[in-house]
């Protein structure tokens, strides 16, 4: 398979096997062979099938499978849900289990709904409970302490039922975005709550430990509070938990309480699921979908994912037991937006909605055909007896396939997998295949990519680039104009027929986002990971209507994001790359006064002790001086250059926070720990010093002890707040598929 430079960067950094020095010892072909060899477990015929499948560009499994298959860890699943009962033993046992999962590279979901509310009586101690919110903070701190898979912090989902007595506190728990930074938050919405909402009535709050009614709230007031918080910063999301349990394939085994971190995988406690996605864009040939090829790919994918379960080493024995009793797989898609581009179908059209149903029904139907075949060869999943399948309760409307016959076949012949379909985030695997993520529309057709040595390049969607070149209007200047605008909707040079087809996230109204999610949900066993994007000026009423529409169109949950609503903007289109002539309008730096005052900080770096002096004049910080021990030569010269340019920016009224963003996270070959933080380079050390300086009260410059104490508190609180730029490479990051991700290097928050 031909790989882009971007894909190779991601693979080398995150997927290829490395030696003890951190150097890659694999290439694409060797990685494919490693994974296929492991998952086929000695079956030579399967090995060749799986090599062909992985190298085709038509399918990739979730990242843990690519990273860990055939390696010592052998943890191949991405998502887990852990039980959480109302006892200290259960709470802290679950924290321990979550730490082990995060260490192995997985994400975790929890329902806090069984924990009694704050100030409820605890008989065993004759005291009172501190409530689910206090324990949520403990989970968050524990996650901070565990580095996930050596590359990132663990991601979590926290769900609280809307009828829990502390639901108001939960809804407002991320009003301060520096709190609970390792958690996505969702309210578990019940049918009684929605009934009360539509009737404008009160609903009951129920104490988890006694099941007694302890209060009532107006459903519309609570719904409005959820909308207010979501409008402010995108959280909490909502999960329609009763609807999810309507589709629980094994209700005789237990009730679904939570989902994985991005919300697309509802799971029983102690359950995991392994995921994979078909690249729809690659299946379009000569302007048409190759349905026969898709059918063949689906069969291979189901075989592969089922074998992944057999080969995976799960971090806990109880998870191993539950996973192998249900054998859930989640086959989904990526490249949907690119498929629509190739077929010349607008994302925001009924034709696209109809095609979404057709595509997902095709995948769901044929995935079950293959699962029936596997059951004949290997046996049904052990919990099949008593499941919805044995009782012919598989819920599908009659459409293009013989669903009734399929239900009868399953009841007679069995089914290998309790679920077969999921629409999951495909952040890095879609980057490897140079395809759009999941079912999301393209965020931008042209965007700025940061590369080595601070150079900025334009990335252009290949389908858009071809269309522009085909009609003869391609130019670098036009592409820069598209990058700056973030959309082609108002660019006069581009014909209307292309504007209709090449729509991006913010060209599409929330109505079409939700209709698309609902279309895919109709034929998906589990759930659909998607972000409903709103423009910055969107009103609370618009978000309220989106939530209602999601419920009314049978979605299982919904996540919204209003552009610019977080403290730090996480989307970054419209950055222009232009040469400006020197005789243009320029800002001259203010004069340096004869006397300035400031502080000097010591920072440990890989090059030695770095001393950074920051001085102020009457308008604020105005200059930076650096000194690196006794070193000279290039290192000393570069530090002086950084200091001089930073000083020039400060006296030109550039925001200190803007300078920090540019300097922080720049990496050198010799990072160093300093007071519990990794200093990635001397530039990063200067950024940390500026950051500390920002938090100093000018009237207390002499109180050094107080300065250090306040700074330590501030840094601990903001370690994992939302990034406007990627913490690894400095490129812009995008909020989509329920997660933050960087398209330049593959970094993901989830």
User: Which residues are known catalytic residues?
Assistant: 260, 262, 264
Q: What is the C-alpha to C-alpha distance for residues 645 and 338, in angstroms, rounded to an integer?
A: 43
- Whole-Å CA distances, 294 to 276, 289, 366, 427, 682: 14, 8, 10, 22, 51
Nearest to 624 by CA among 576, 687, 697: 687
Q: State whether residue 715 is helix, strand or coil.
A: helix
Residue 424 · residue 330 · CB < 8 Å: yes
The C-alpha torsion from 322 through 325 and 326 to 331, rounded to 10°, is 90
Which residues partner with 240 through β-bridges? 189
330 φ, ψ (degrees, to nearest 5):
-135, 90
Element (H, E) at 447: strand 446-450
Preceding omega of 709 cis (within 30 degrees of 0) = no
The C-alpha torsion from 383 through 384 and 387 to 390, rounded to 10°, is -160
Q: State whether residue 530 is helix, strand or coil.
A: coil
Q: What is the C-alpha to C-alpha distance for residues 186 and 262, in angstroms, rounded to an integer?
A: 10
Nearest to 600 by CA among 700, 709, 686, 718: 686
Nearest to 309 by CA among 251, 381, 373: 381
| Residue 246, both tokens | 């309507």
Q: What is the C-alpha to C-alpha distance for residues 250 and 383, in angstroms, rounded to an integer?
A: 7
Which residues partner with 603 through β-bridges? 610
Residue 331 · residue 305 · CB < 8 Å: yes
Which residues partner with 158 through β-bridges? 110, 185
First to last CA, the chain: 27
Element (H, E) at 210: none
Q: What is the C-alpha to C-alpha distance for residues 101 and 79, in angstroms, rounded to an integer?
A: 9
Q: What is the C-alpha to C-alpha distance for residues 632 and 630, in angstroms, rounded to an integer?
A: 7
Question: How long is the chain?
Answer: 750
Tell me whether residue 12 is exposed, middle or buried, using C-beta atoms within 10 angstroms of its C-beta: 0 to 12, 13 to 18, 19 or more.
middle
Q: What is the C-alpha to C-alpha distance for residues 81 and 63, in angstroms, rounded to an integer?
A: 18
Q: What is the C-alpha to C-alpha distance for residues 24 and 433, in angstroms, rounded to an integer?
A: 20
- Whole-Å CA distances, 652 to 591, 609, 646: 10, 29, 10
Nearest to 721 by CA among 10, 157, 144, 263: 144
Residue 487 · residue 499 · CB < 8 Å: no
Nearest to 417 by CA among 366, 362, 372: 372
Nearest to 28 by CA among 4, 62, 58: 4
CB atoms within 10 A of CB 94: 20
- Whole-Å CA distances, 329 to 276, 370, 540: 8, 12, 37
Rg of the Cα atoms in the chain: 27
What sections of 41-190 are H helices per DSSP?
44-54, 63-68, 88-103, 131-144, 167-171
Q: What is the C-alpha to C-alpha distance for residues 527 and 518, in angstroms, rounded to an integer?
A: 10
| Residue 40, both tokens | 């086929």
| Residue 393, both tokens | 């309760």
- Whole-Å CA distances, 397 to 400, 442, 519, 523, 526: 10, 30, 13, 9, 16
């Amino acid at each position: 398979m031909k790989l882009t430079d971007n894909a190779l960067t991601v693979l080398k950094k995150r997927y290829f096997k490395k030696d003890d020095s951190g150097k890659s010892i694999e290439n694409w072909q060797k990685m494919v062979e490693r994974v296929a060899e492991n998952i086929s477990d000695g079956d030579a015929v399967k090995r060749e099938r799986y090599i062909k499948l992985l190298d085709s560009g038509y399918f990739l499994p979730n990242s843990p499978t690519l990273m860990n298959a055939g390696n010592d860890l052998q943890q191949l699943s991405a998502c887990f849900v852990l039980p959480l009962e109302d006892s200290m033993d259960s709470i802290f046992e679950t924290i321990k289990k979550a730490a082990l999962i995060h260490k192995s590279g997985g994400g975790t979901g929890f329902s806090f709904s069984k924990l009694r509310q704050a100030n409820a009586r605890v008989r065993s101690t004759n005291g009172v409970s501190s409530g689910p919110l206090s324990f949520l903070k403990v989970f968050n701190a524990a996650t901070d302490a565990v580095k996930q898979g050596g590359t990132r912090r663990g991601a979590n989902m926290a769900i609280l039922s809307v009828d829990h007595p502390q639901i108001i506190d939960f809804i407002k728990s991320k009003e301060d975005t520096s709190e609970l930074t390792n958690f996505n938050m969702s309210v578990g919405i019940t049918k009684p709550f929605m009934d009360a909402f539509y009737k404008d009535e009160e609903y009951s709050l129920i104490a988890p430990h006694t099941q007694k009614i302890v209060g009532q709230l107006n459903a519309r007031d609570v719904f409005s509070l959820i909308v207010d918080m979501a409008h402010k910063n995108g959280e909490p999301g909502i999960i329609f938990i009763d609807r999810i349990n309507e589709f629980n394939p094994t209700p005789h085994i237990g009730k679904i309480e939570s989902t994985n971190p991005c919300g697309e995988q509802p799971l029983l406690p102690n359950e995991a699921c392994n995921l994979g996605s078909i690249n729809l864009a690659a299946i379009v040939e000569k302007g048409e979908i190759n349905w026969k090829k898709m059918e063949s790919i689906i069969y291979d994918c189901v075989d592969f994912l089922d074998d992944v379960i057999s080969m995976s080493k799960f971090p806990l024995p109880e998870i191993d037991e539950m996973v192998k009793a249900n054998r859930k797989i989640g086959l989904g898609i990526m490249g949907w937006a690119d498929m629509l581009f190739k077929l010349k179908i607008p994302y925001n059209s009924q034709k696209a909605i109809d095609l979404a149903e057709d595509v997902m029904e095709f995948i769901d139907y044929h995935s079950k055909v293959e699962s029936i075949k596997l059951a004949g060869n290997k046996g049904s999943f052990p919990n099949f007896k008593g499941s919805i399948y044995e009782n012919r309760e598989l819920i599908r409307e009659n459409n293009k396939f013989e669903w009734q016959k399929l239900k009868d076949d399953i009841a007679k012949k069995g089914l290998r997998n309790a679920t077969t379909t999921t629409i999951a985030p495909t952040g890095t695997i879609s980057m490897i295949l140079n395809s759009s993520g999941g079912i999301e529309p393209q965020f931008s057709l042209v965007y700025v990519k940061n590369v080595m040595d601070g150079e900025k390049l334009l990335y252009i969607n290949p389908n858009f680039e071809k269309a522009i070149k085909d009609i003869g209007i391609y130019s670098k200047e036009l592409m820069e104009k598209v990058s700056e605008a973030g959309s082609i909707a108002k660019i006069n040079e581009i014909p209307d027929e292309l504007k209709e087809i090449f729509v991006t996230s913010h060209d599409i109204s929330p109505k079409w986002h939700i209709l698309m999610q609902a279309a895919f949900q109709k034929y998906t066993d589990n759930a659909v990971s998607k972000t409903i994007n709103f423009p910055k000026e969107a009103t609370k009423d618009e978000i309220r209507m989106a939530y209602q529409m999601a419920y009314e169109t049978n979605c299982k949950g919904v996540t919204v994001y209003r552009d610019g609503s977080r403290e730090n903007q996480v989307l970054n289109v419209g950055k222009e790359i232009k040469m400006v002539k020197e005789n243009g309008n320029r800002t001259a730096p203010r004069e340096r006064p004869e006397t300035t005052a400031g502080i000097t900080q010591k920072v440990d770096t890989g090059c030695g002790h770095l001393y950074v002096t920051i001085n102020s004049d009457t308008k604020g910080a105005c200059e930076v001086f650096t000194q690196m021990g006794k070193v000279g030569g290039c290192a000393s010269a570069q530090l002086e250059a950084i200091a001089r340019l930073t000083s020039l920016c400060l006296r030109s009224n550039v925001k200190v926070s803007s300078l920090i963003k540019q300097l922080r996270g720049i990496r050198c070959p010799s990072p160093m720990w300093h007071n519990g933080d990794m200093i990635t380079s001397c530039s990063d050390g200067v950024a940390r010093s500026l950051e500390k300086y920002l938090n100093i009260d000018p009237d207390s410059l002499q109180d050094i002890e107080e300065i250090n104490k306040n700074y330590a508190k501030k840094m601990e609180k903001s370690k994992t707040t939302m990034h406007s730029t990627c913490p690894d490479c400095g490129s812009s990051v995008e909020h989509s598929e329920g997660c933050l991700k960087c398209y330049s290097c593959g970094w993901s928050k989830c």
